[in-house]
Amino acid sequence: MLRPRLFRAVPVLAFLTAACAPDGGPDAASEPEMLAARPADVSPLFEPLPTEVAAPDDNPTTPERVDLGHRLFFEPKLSRSGVISCNTCHVVGAAGIDGRSVAIGEGAREGPRNSPTVYNAAFLSAQFWDGRAPTLEEQAKGPIQAHVEMDLTPDEAMARLADTGYGPLFEAAFPEEAEPLTFDNLARAIAAFERTLITPGAPFDRYLSGEGDALSELQRQGLGIFQDRGCIGCHNGVLLGGNGFAGFSHVVGSDDQGRAEVTGDSADRYMFRIAPLRNVAMTAPYFHDGSAATLRDAVEIMGRVQLRQEFTEPEVDALVAFLESLTGEFPLIAHPRLPRTAGGM
Q: What is the pLDDT at residue 252? A: 67
Question: CB-based burial of residue 184 (10 Å sphere; 0-12 exposed, 13-18 middle, 19+ buried)?
Answer: middle
Select which of 149, 194, 300, 329 is catalytic. 149
The pairing of beta strand 330-331 with beta strand 6-7: antiparallel
Render pLDDT for 255-289 as a digit per residue (tens, 0 to 9): 888 999 999 999 999 999 999 999 999 999 999 99
The stretch 162-173 carries a mean pLDDT of: 97
Fold of the 8-52+199-324 domain? Cytochrome Bc1 Complex; Chain D, domain 2 (1.10.760)
**Catalytic residue list contains 149:** yes
Rounded CA gap, 186 and 143, in Å?
13
All CATH 1.10.760.10 domain ranges in the chain, comma separated: 8-52+199-324, 63-197
Superfamily in which the 63-197 domain is placed by CATH: Cytochrome c-like domain (1.10.760.10)
Render pLDDT for 33-64 as a digit per residue (tens, 0 to 9): 444 488 998 999 999 999 999 999 999 999 99
Render pLDDT for 73-83 as a digit per residue (tens, 0 to 9): 999 999 999 99
* Residue 113: CB atoms within 10 Å: 19
pTM of the model: 0.88
Q: Is the pLDDT of residue 25 over 60?
A: no
Q: Which residue has the higher pLDDT, 18 or 207?
A: 207
Angle, in degrees to the nearest 10, between helices 136-145 and 183-194: 120
In SS3 terms, 141-204 reads as HHHHHCCCCCCCCHHHHHHHHHHHCCHHHHHHHCCCCCCCCCHHHHHHHHHHHHCCCCCCCCHH
Q: Which residue has the higher pLDDT, 1 or 282?
A: 282
Q: Which of 264-268, 282-286, 293-297, 341-345 has the lowest mean pLDDT?
A: 341-345
Rounded CA gap, 196 and 212, in Å?
29
Q: Which of 145-149, 176-180, 255-259 has the lowest mean pLDDT?
A: 255-259
Give the confidence band of 106 by pLDDT, cuts at 50, 70, 90. Answer: very high
